[in-house]
Amino acid sequence: MDYTCLMCNHLVEITQPCPGCGSPMENEGLLQDFYDPYSPYLDQEIYEDDYKNYNHDFCVHVMRCPLCNTERCLAYKRLTEKELHKMVY
């Protein structure tokens, strides 16, 4: 079954307050893209197993505060095609 991350596909923009200063954190992209220079071009399954408590229902994004550079990894729920249809219609 295919899952879609709303953040990866730019369908939503989620803001998260910085735990350090309260400013809105920015989405820096997928955690797996920070592993090495070639990781954005490899299958996602290669990296997903290394993140603790990971399953295919979630997509892990790196969020960074532009003011104090605090970083957090946050997991966002991926949606199935059926769930996406419910949102649109």
pLDDT tens readout for residues 13-51: 888 999 999 999 999 988 877 776 665 555 555 445 455
Specify whether the CB–CB gap between 61 and 12 falls below 8 A. no
Q: Domain residue spans in the chain?
A: 3-88
pLDDT of amino acid 22: 96
Q: What is the mean pLDDT of the chain?
A: 79
Q: Is the pTM of this model over 0.85?
A: no
**C-alpha distance from residue 43 to each of 2, 10, 21, 56, 59 (Å):** 14, 20, 35, 13, 14
Query: Which of 30, 37, 35 is CA-nearest to residue 7?
Result: 30
> For a pLDDT cut of 90, what percent of the chain falls above it?
26
Q: pLDDT by residue (tens digit) across 44-75?
A: 554 454 555 556 678 889 999 999 999 999 88
Question: What is the C-alpha to C-alpha distance for residues 52 and 66, in angstroms, rounded to an integer?
Answer: 26
